[in-house]
Amino acid sequence: MHKKDDIENKTGAPTPLRSRRKFIGAAVATGGVGILSRELAVLSACGSADTAAQIVLPTTTKEVTPFKIHVPQAALDDLKKKLANARWPDKEPVTDWSQGVPLAKAEALVEYWRTHYDWRRVESTLNGLPQFRTQIDGLGIHFIHVRSNHENALPVILTHGWPGSILEFLQVIGPLVDPMAHGGKADDAFHVVIPSLPGFGFSDKPTEPGWRLPRIASAWALLMMRLGYSHYVAQGGDWGAGVTSWMAKQRLSGLAAIHLNLPILFPPPPPPPGGYTAAEQQALDHLGKYASDASGYASIQGTRPQTLGYGLADSPVGQAMWIYEKLQGWSDNKGGEAISTDRMLDDITLYWLTDTAASSARLYYESFAKDFARMPLDLPVAVSIFKGDFFAPPKIWGDQTYSKLFYWNEVPKGGHFAALEQPELFVAELRKSFPQMR
Amino acid sequence: MKNDLEHRAEVAVPLNSRRKFIRAAVTTGGAAILSAELAVLTARGNADTAAQIVLPAATKDVTPFKVSVPQGAIDDLKRRLASTRWPERETVGDWSQGVPLQKAQALVAYWRDKYDWRRFEARINAFPQYRTQIDGVGIHFIHVRSPQQNALPIILTHGWPGSVVEFLEVIGPLSDPTRYGGRAEDAFHVVVPSLPGFAFSDKPAETGWDVNRIARAWATLIPRLGYERWVAQGGDWGAGVTHALAHQRPPGLIAAHVNWQFVFPEKLPEKPTPAEQKAIDRAALFANDQSGYFREQGTRPQTIGYPLADSAAGQALWIYEKFQSWTDNHGNPEDALSVDAMLDDISLYWFTDTAASSARIYWENTRSGKAGLSGGRIELPMAASVFPHEIFCPPKAWAEALWPNLFYWNEVDKGGHFAAFEQPKLFIEELRKAFRSRRG
């Protein structure tokens, strides 16, 4: 329907950024398509052997351009070849996860990845959803955008963190957009926007420093405006909570309220005259344990993301374990599996195929020490604490920090990856939080 | 004879079953310390394992050892380097996010196209090397006896990401000074071990190998070599081990020298002098901006081990960054160390697959509380040389406060963290001057 030449021409004049975006066979619409247009043309992978596993993301304009994913087979073959060639370290001298992913667990995951895992399944799921790219502040931003059939639905922008992705939200899109089909009421409907953070997934990788949380927050506001939403809410956990909190702090036009499943309530408020309560003390202990034993990844990503990136860009085993450790450490997996192996590998494979280890780590370099800390907010704030997360702050810290804290609930099940681990509870929390914002 | 060797390799302990791809030379039977009778262990024949080797099992005998990496491992390395997948370019114009992509690609291209491991292998094999089992772990070491009968025995301990490679240049002048323009009375018998989990030493299969335990192993090694009166020297973790030895004061240890001094006071001075302030500032910079590798290795050495074991580029750049950050250079590590010298060290980590096992020294010492800035009070006679580009340079007053028997302190004018590697002549001079008063 569109000439292949046109498309190749588009990708033939890459910006410096593009020249590094390799091996994503992307689908790209050509010409002035509307938000909901489904006119797509598939970009074929480059032909030569050297670049068969490489792809280039389509360039973006300020238009909202439909986007589909087609990873070239060569990239998947290359992944399997690398997995088959893996060289392993020796076994850890401990019998738990205290030195990281145990070798036996690592080998089992990689064996499954190599012999059973099917990327085309998740690719097809993603391509069943309306996806787009649009240029904001110089950067192509990838996002899922599903409009509800209910005209009065409340627009919500859901932001993932690290090592998460848009994939965390796949199971909640249906129930949020079409509540009637999922045990809800028409009044519970949302229009859902799920962007990939800059440097993550199919968003562009920034080529210059400065993509800190406040800048991402502003970009999200532009995105919502571009999609025609003038009254909306925002939601996030992990870095997504950081972005969402900054959106609230900036009082962005149209943003009515936010919901956080990991409120940025650290460092904690100063102790009251009588000292911290037991609940506060427990949260402090969590923070202390995180700082002393569980934040090495943040420390290296926050200071030398490029150096770390070399090993993770070149070794799929390395990339997988770097993420797997966190999926294990931060999910509510006492007594069983919190996230299925396929779902974990969907997320891991997305990082691998997009070669975004360094670019995603760079968010720590940009913002971890500067922007990711407790900030008073005067916009309405709702909070759901999933008790299996590695940090569960007490409500009193929320009261002391958010002047309009209108919802606080502690959910007994689920951890850091709330929407991924407990999609039904996550949906219920959003439905309960936002009725008065409609 | 060959059968015996293969048998030995087949009954490898669980540890050894992961020690793959070093085709090592091993003597058979109770070899004497200076025996040069060697038999080469051939690599296994099939394609799967051509790049794998097994270290010979160590006993309490001191068994000569030579390095011979099978061609399969070298070919495998080049294949991996040729198919490296890269991240995008950093978003800054300096090293603040780590090794710049252009520098990384240049290093990897040189490693693949120009670097000659066999040159290095011949060089290290020119030194008498041994393995012996101490506290359950096979320890690899270079041991060069001086032709001077009255030479002073010294054990030199490397750190991370260093290795015995750091000391190759200084062994000759230290052990045989008259051949290198020095005086016979400055001679040392030189022992240079590989830390447990590093290079050709075994990888510990159990926890507990912090600097204290390593120091006890060294105190077993030295008498096993027949020495009764000796000194110790080290930098980086080697300084940690040397501080630990100084605390333990094993029989025969008469003094120690460190080129990194862990003498921070427990309570920092309220009104620091300029020198104190500089040390505090440098330590703070290290804690805030330069210790990501330390925290990761100190908490999740296994996880960081996966990419570094599998990606040769990843392993190289993990180390190369430190050669840039910690040497005395004008912006590029090549100002301080030759590319070949850096790649000798990097290749040694790569071929021995010791990224995880070497990272584990951070985990062990973090857990046992031996990773701090202060080594506490030491009664043993201590000597120190301060190289100006060290991570932090404590003032002499701090050392005097903790080391009542400080007998030598000198601040030299060039060199950094890898003192012997960067400034071998200065390093030799420092050891000669430091220990002159401890002889006889």
* Per-residue pLDDT tens over the stretch B72-89: 999 999 999 999 999 999
- The answer to whether A304 contacts B360, with C-beta atoms less than 8 Å apart, is no
Same domain, B67 and B78: no
Q: Which residue range is the domain that position B55 belongs to?
A: 2-72
**One domain for residues B59 and B81:** no
The CATH number of the domain where B345 resides is what?
Answer: 3.40.50.1820
Instruction: Tell me whether residues A86 and B310 touch, CB distance under 8 A.
Output: yes
pTM reported for the whole predicted model:
0.90
By CA distance, what is B287's nearest residue in A?
A299
Domain boundary among B50, B72, B94: B72
Interface of A with B in 96-125 (CB under 8 A): 99-103, 106
Domains present along chain A, CATH in parentheses:
4-71 (no CATH), 72-438 (3.40.50.1820)
Same domain assignment for residues B88 and B62: no
User: For B184-221, b where at least 16 C-beta lie within 10 A, e where not — what string?
Assistant: eebbbbbbbbbbbbbbbbbbbbebebbbbbbbbbbbbb
- Does residue B95 surpass a pLDDT of 50? yes
Please tell me if residue B365 touches chain A, with a CB cutoff of 8 Å.
no
Question: Does the pLDDT of residue B341 top 60, yes or no?
Answer: yes
Higher pLDDT, B42 or A126: A126
Q: Is A321 on the interface with B (CB under 8 A)?
A: yes
Pick from B97, B296, B315: CB nearest A297:
B296
Distance CA A386, CA B261 (A): 47
Q: Which of A432-436, B334-338, B354-358 has the lowest mean pLDDT?
A: A432-436
Nearest-neighbour CA in chain A from B301: distance (Å)? 6
Domain total of chain B:
2
Which of B85, B292, B355 is the closest to A299 by Cβ? B292
Q: What mean pLDDT, rounded, does chain B reach? A: 90
Strand, helix or coil at B140?
A: strand
Handedness of CA B17, B23, B26, B28 (dihedral sign): positive
My answer on whether B23 and B147 are in the same domain is no
Report the share of chain B in percent with pLDDT over 90.
87
- Reported as a pLDDT band with limits 50, 70 and 90, residue B42 is very low
Q: What is the CA B78 to chain-centroid distance, rounded? A: 25
Q: Which residues of B touch A304 (CB under 8 A)?
A: 97-98, 292-293, 321
Q: What is the pLDDT of residues B8-40, one digit of tens each?
A: 332 222 333 333 333 333 332 222 222 233 333
- Inform me whether the C-beta atom of residue A51 falls under 8 Å from chain B C-beta atoms: no
CB contact under 8 A, A317 and B357: no
Token pair in block for residue B358 = 């070497």
Whether B101 and B333 have beta carbons less than 8 Å apart is answered as no
**B369: confidence class by pLDDT, cuts 50, 70, 90:** very high
| B224 in the same domain as B116 | yes
pLDDT digits (tens, 9 = 90+) for B110-125: 999 999 999 999 999 9
pLDDT of B46 higher than 60 = no
Same domain, B139 and B240: yes
Q: Which of B72, B98, B115 is the last residue of a domain?
A: B72
Same domain, B63 and B86: no
- Closest chain B residue to A23, measured at CA: B85
User: What is the structure's pLDDT at A51?
Assistant: 55
What residues of B are in contact with residue A295 (Cβ under 8 Å)?
295, 299
**pLDDT at residue number A337:** 82
What is the chain A residue with the closest CA to B77? A87
Q: What DSSP assignment string belongs to A261-324?
A: SS----SPPPPPTT---HHHHHHHHHHHHIIIII-HHHHHHHH-HHHHHHHHHH-HHHHHHHHH
Q: CB contact, 8 Å: B6 with chain A?
A: no
Do B226 and B357 fall into the same domain? yes
User: Between A and B, how many residue pairs show a Cβ–Cβ distance under 8 A?
Assistant: 200
- Interface check B374 vs A, CB under 8 A: no
Q: Are residues B381 and B428 in the same domain?
A: yes
> Is the minimum CB–CB distance between A302 and chain B shorter than 8 Å?
yes
Which residue on chain B is closest to A110 by alpha carbon?
B306
Domain C-terminal end among B72, B107, B124: B72
CB contact under 8 A, A89 and B353: yes
Rounded average pLDDT per 10-residue block, chain A, 438 residues: 36 32 35 29 38 79 96 95 97 97 98 98 98 98 98 97 98 98 95 98 97 98 98 98 98 97 94 92 95 96 98 98 97 86 98 98 97 97 96 96 98 97 98 89
Same domain (yes/no): B94, B167:
yes
Q: How far is B146 from chain A (nearest CA, A)?
A: 37
State both tokens at B236: 């980086």
- In what side-by-side order are the strands of the sheet with A190-195? A41-42, A26-28, A65-69, A131-136, A139-146, A190-195, A154-159, A232-236, A255-260, A381-386, A405-411
Q: Is B18 on the interface with A (CB under 8 A)?
A: yes
Same domain for B429 and B406: yes
Distance from CA of B10 to the nearest CA of A (A): 17
A89 vs B355: CB contact, 8 Å cut-off?
yes
Q: Are both B47 and B114 inside the same structural domain?
A: no
Task: Residue B207: name the closest of A150, A348, A310, A99 by CA.
Answer: A99
Mean pLDDT of B400-407: 98
Partners of residue B18 in chain A, C-beta under 8 Å: 88-91
Distance CA A258, CA A224 (A): 14
The answer on pLDDT for B281 being more than 50 is: yes
Whether B325 and chain A come into contact, CB under 8 Å, resolves to: no
Residues 6+ apart with CB under 8 A from A155: A190, A191, A192, A193, A224, A227, A229, A231, A232, A233
